[in-house]
């Protein structure tokens, strides 16, 4: 059987896949700067006979690797960006490799390589069994910051894809069917006039005043927005020192809601508040939309295929040494914090997991109808093709995520096992979709039903390009 052949191939070649994952873990490159990581993945796919198109959608670290021809076209996505300041050794106590440097706190080294290994496994099985169709591995930059996939969707790279699958490090082996919040991010630039703040304040116009008035307005608006919405901001520039009236101030806002139309409604209100603040402070202002991503359209039928494959493969087992590692790491998390986290997961009978170190079950997804309070650029892919991003248990249950604990497990055998398990689930799912037209049809029928005739609208304006300069600047700041 083609699937067993692919799984066996992944097992036989696991040392190479682990080596790639560990290198990406060591590189720990930030969004849009993943030069070494993306090249390593692209080169490995080329070695196995994929044709690679590098630098797509105006991003040097984005690529698409293709094998085969004709339909169906199955996409497999992989990410490889790290997070700032999370450098950590692959050990059970907090100890940075390099103080202040980035680390894979969201496990994207596992994410990129599970997809790559799954794509290669599926390709080898297609070749051996003469299975027609196309596999496309998408190397997706900057998930954490600049939503790389949105630019790839905007440029049409997912237009002829029949279904897309990917994996993410997580706390459970399952394929969730919840959604995420749509988000837009905007920067508000206020311009005033400098003057001596004591001698001639009447000649000054404070950009900081305008910015603060805007924030006050938005915080009053907050009372009248829907429960699931989120608005958060930072002040990026607020002047240099108190005796100079600041002539420039800048805030950065995230605005989130279950649907993009709701985000847009809130933005219209916020733009009016900014205008009002501007009038009050006698300043000028400019608004830049930086980025955005759309809510996830779930797929129960893709979830069924992925969970079915996970159960056929069987969840990883852990050695005594690995369990001791987790026991040691567990000391870094209080019981109260773990209870809070489990409650938030909304899993039925979550109380049974309070003393569990790593979840080895493969449950049915329990999040039907739930909108999780984060956002992801996977959402944009899910509006143009049926999409599933599933999780495998990658480390300590109770790990808060974006944490040193995640970095540590993703650089050692517990993370490797999660990656190989996910690679096999990806290969199995891709081969099912390529060889069982009735399953692919069910996936596509559900997709049409959930879209309800709505069309995808890219949240990023046509003239906004991937923010390479911003990414380079951010990397400089986070290094110091
Ligand atoms: Zn992530």
Here the tokens at position 267 are 């933005």
Question: What is the Å distance from ligand 1's center to 147 Cα?
Answer: 11
Here the tokens at position 179 are 């959604």
User: What distance in Å separates the CA atoms of residue 377 and residue 180, rounded to the nearest whole number?
Assistant: 10
Lowest mean per-residue pLDDT among 101-105, 200-204, 458-462: 458-462
- In this predicted structure, the answer to whether residue 479 has a pLDDT above a threshold of 60 is no
Question: What is the Å distance from ligand 1's center to 75 Cα?
Answer: 18
Question: What is the Å distance from ligand 1's center to 342 Cα?
Answer: 19
Question: What is the Å distance from ligand 1's center to 269 Cα?
Answer: 31
Could you count the other beta carbons within 10 Å of the beta carbon of residue 241?
Answer: 7
Question: What is the Å distance from ligand 1's center to 314 Cα?
Answer: 24
User: What distance in Å separates the CA atoms of residue 442 and residue 248, rounded to the nearest whole number?
Assistant: 55
Question: What is the Å distance from ligand 1's center to 83 Cα?
Answer: 9
Question: What is the Å distance from ligand 1's center to 260 Cα?
Answer: 21
Question: What is the Å distance from ligand 1's center to 228 Cα?
Answer: 21
- In this predicted structure, the answer to whether residue 111 has a pLDDT above a threshold of 50 is yes
Which residues are within 8 A (CB) of 53 and not within 5 positions of it... i.e. 6 or more apart?
Answer: 63, 64, 65, 66
Give the position of tokens 């979550």: 350
- In this predicted structure, the answer to whether residue 480 has a pLDDT above a threshold of 70 is no
Which residues are within 8 A (CB) of 12 and not within 5 positions of it... i.e. 6 or more apart?
Answer: none
Question: What is the Å distance from ligand 1's center to 144 Cα?
Answer: 7
Question: What is the Å distance from ligand 1's center to 381 Cα?
Answer: 15
Question: What is the Å distance from ligand 1's center to 221 Cα?
Answer: 31
**How confident is the model at residue 478, as a pLDDT?**
58
Which residues are within 8 A (CB) of 415 and not within 5 positions of it... i.e. 6 or more apart?
Answer: 21, 107, 109, 110, 169, 394, 395, 409
Q: What are the tens digits of pLDDT across the range 358-389? A: 999 999 999 999 999 999 999 999 999 999 99
User: What distance in Å separates the CA atoms of residue 452 and residue 220, rounded to the nearest whole number?
Assistant: 35
Question: What is the Å distance from ligand 1's center to 405 Cα?
Answer: 14
Count CA atoms closer than 13 A to 86's CA, side-chain side: 27
Residue 315 sits at the vertex; the CA angle it makes with 47 and 369, to the nearest 5 degrees, is 100
Distances (CA, A) of 77 to 246, 299, 354, 365: 45, 16, 33, 21
Determine the length of the chain: 480
Average pLDDT over all residues of the chain: 96
User: What distance in Å separates the CA atoms of residue 63 and residue 34, rounded to the nearest whole number?
Assistant: 12
Q: What are the tens digits of pLDDT across the range 239-271? A: 999 999 999 999 999 999 999 999 999 999 999
Q: Is 71 helix (H, G, I), strand (E, B) or coil?
A: coil
Question: What is the Å distance from ligand 1's center to 376 Cα?
Answer: 8
Question: What is the Å distance from ligand 1's center to 169 Cα?
Answer: 8
**How confident is the model at residue 146, as a pLDDT?**
86
Here the tokens at position 451 are 């879209």
- In this predicted structure, the answer to whether residue 136 has a pLDDT above a threshold of 50 is yes
Domains present along the chain, CATH in parentheses: 2-180+295-451 (3.40.630.10), 182-294 (3.30.70.360)
Q: Is 385 helix (H, G, I), strand (E, B) or coil?
A: coil
Q: Say what the pTM is.
A: 0.93
Going by pLDDT thresholds of 50, 70 and 90, the confidence category of residue 444 is very high
Here the tokens at position 253 are 């806002």
Question: What is the Å distance from ligand 1's center to 402 Cα?
Answer: 8
Question: What is the Å distance from ligand 1's center to 2 Cα?
Answer: 30
**How confident is the model at residue 454, as a pLDDT?**
94
**How confident is the model at residue 474, as a pLDDT?**
83
User: What distance in Å separates the CA atoms of residue 301 and residue 446, rounded to the nearest whole number?
Assistant: 7
- In this predicted structure, the answer to whether residue 99 has a pLDDT above a threshold of 50 is yes
CB 48 within 8 A of CB 457: no
Instruction: Name the DSSP class of 55.
Output: S
Question: What is the Å distance from ligand 1's center to 395 Cα?
Answer: 14
Q: What are the tens digits of pLDDT across the range 391-427? A: 999 999 999 999 999 999 999 999 999 999 999 999 9
Question: What is the Å distance from ligand 1's center to 194 Cα?
Answer: 42
Going by pLDDT thresholds of 50, 70 and 90, the confidence category of residue 151 is very high
- In this predicted structure, the answer to whether residue 69 has a pLDDT above a threshold of 90 is yes
Could you count the other beta carbons within 10 Å of the beta carbon of residue 91?
Answer: 14
Question: What is the Å distance from ligand 1's center to 108 Cα?
Answer: 6
Question: What is the Å distance from ligand 1's center to 170 Cα?
Answer: 9
Question: What is the Å distance from ligand 1's center to 285 Cα?
Answer: 34
User: What distance in Å separates the CA atoms of residue 79 and residue 146, rounded to the nearest whole number?
Assistant: 12
CB 299 within 8 A of CB 387: yes
**How confident is the model at residue 312, as a pLDDT?**
98
Question: What is the Å distance from ligand 1's center to 69 Cα?
Answer: 31
CB 322 within 8 A of CB 396: no
Question: What is the Å distance from ligand 1's center to 288 Cα?
Answer: 25
User: What distance in Å separates the CA atoms of residue 406 and residue 202, rounded to the nearest whole number?
Assistant: 53
Here the tokens at position 391 are 């999780």
Question: What is the Å distance from ligand 1's center to 415 Cα?
Answer: 14
User: What distance in Å separates the CA atoms of residue 472 and residue 451, rounded to the nearest whole number?
Assistant: 37
Question: What is the Å distance from ligand 1's center to 104 Cα?
Answer: 9
Here the tokens at position 69 are 């021809």
Q: What are the tens digits of pLDDT across the range 207-247? A: 999 999 999 999 999 999 999 999 999 999 999 999 999 99
pLDDT above 70 covers what percent of the chain? Answer: 99
Question: What is the Å distance from ligand 1's center to 105 Cα?
Answer: 8
Q: What is the mean pLDDT of residues 331-346?
A: 95
Question: What is the Å distance from ligand 1's center to 181 Cα?
Answer: 15
Segments in 282-436 forming alpha helices (H):
300-313, 320-330, 335-345, 378-384, 404-410, 413-435
**How confident is the model at residue 477, as a pLDDT?**
67
Question: What is the Å distance from ligand 1's center to 246 Cα?
Answer: 37
Question: What is the Å distance from ligand 1's center to 106 Cα?
Answer: 5
Question: What is the Å distance from ligand 1's center to 172 Cα?
Answer: 14
To which H or E segment does residue 477 belong? helix 468-479
CB 429 within 8 A of CB 363: no
User: What distance in Å separates the CA atoms of residue 20 and residue 32, rounded to the nearest whole number?
Assistant: 19
Count CA atoms closer than 13 A to 147's CA, side-chain side: 27
Question: What is the Å distance from ligand 1's center to 217 Cα?
Answer: 33
Segments in 90-190 forming alpha helices (H):
108-129, 148-154
- In this predicted structure, the answer to whether residue 290 has a pLDDT above a threshold of 90 is no
Question: What is the Å distance from ligand 1's center to 371 Cα?
Answer: 17
Here the tokens at position 97 are 């490799």
Instruction: Name the DSSP class of 97.
Output: S
User: What distance in Å separates the CA atoms of residue 37 and residue 31, rounded to the nearest whole number?
Assistant: 11
């Amino acid at each position: 059987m083609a699937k067993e052949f692919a799984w066996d191939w992944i097992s036989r070649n696991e040392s190479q896949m682990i080596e790639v994952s560990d290198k990406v873990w060591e590189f720990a490159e930030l969004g849009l700067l993943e030069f070494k990581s993306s090249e390593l993945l692209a080169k490995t796919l080329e070695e196995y006979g994929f044709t690679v198109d590098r630098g797509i959608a105006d991003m040097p670290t984005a690529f698409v690797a293709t094998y085969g021809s004709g339909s169906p076209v199955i996409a497999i996505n992989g990410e490889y960006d790290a997070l700032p300041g999370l450098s950590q050794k692959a050990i059970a106590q907090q100890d940075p490799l390099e103080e202040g440097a980035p680390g894979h706190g969201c496990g994207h080294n596992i994410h990129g390589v599970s997809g790559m290994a799954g794509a290669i496994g599926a390709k080898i099985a297609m070749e051996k069994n003469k299975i027609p169709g196309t596999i496309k591995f998408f190397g997706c930059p900057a998930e954490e910051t600049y939503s790389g996939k949105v630019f790839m969707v905007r440029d049409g790279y997912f237009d002829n894809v029949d279904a897309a699958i990917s994996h993410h490090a997580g706390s459970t082996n399952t394929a969730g069917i919840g959604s995420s919040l749509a988000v837009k991010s905007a920067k508000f630039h206020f311009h005033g006039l400098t003057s001596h703040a004591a001698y001639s304040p009447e000649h000054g116009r404070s950009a900081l005043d305008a910015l603060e008035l805007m924030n006050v307005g938005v915080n009053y608006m907050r009372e009248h927005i829907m429960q699931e919405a989120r608005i958060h901001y930072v002040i990026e520039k607020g002047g240099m020192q108190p005796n100079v009236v600041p002539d420039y101030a800048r805030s950065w806002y995230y605005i989130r809601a279950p649907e993009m139309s709701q985000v847009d409604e809130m933005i219209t209100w916020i733009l009016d508040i900014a205008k009002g603040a501007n009038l009050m402070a006698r300043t000028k202002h400019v608004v830049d939309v930086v980025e955005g991503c759309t809510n996830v359209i779930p797929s129960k039928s893709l979830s069924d295929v992925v969970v079915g494959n996970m159960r056929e493969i069987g969840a990883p087992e852990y050695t005594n040494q690995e369990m001791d590692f987790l026991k040691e790491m567990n000391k870094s998390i209080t019981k109260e914090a773990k209870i809070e986290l489990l409650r938030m997961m909304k899993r039925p009978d979550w109380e049974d997991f309070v003393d569990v170190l790593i979840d080895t079950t493969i449950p049915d997804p329990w999040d039907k109808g739930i909108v999780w309070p984060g956002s992801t650029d996977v959402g944009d892919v899910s509006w143009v093709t049926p999409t599933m991003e599933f999780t495998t248990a990658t480390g300590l249950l109770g790990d808060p995520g974006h944490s040193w604990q995640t970095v540590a497990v993703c650089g050692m055998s517990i993370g490797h096992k999660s990656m190989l398990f996910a690679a096999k689930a990806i290969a199995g799912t891709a081969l099912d979709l390529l060889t069982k037209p009735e399953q692919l049809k069910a996936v596509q029928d559900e997709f049409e039903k959930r879209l309800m005739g709505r069309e995808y609208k890219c949240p990023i304006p046509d003239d906004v390009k991937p923010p390479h300069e911003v990414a380079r600047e951010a990397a400089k700041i986070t290094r110091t």
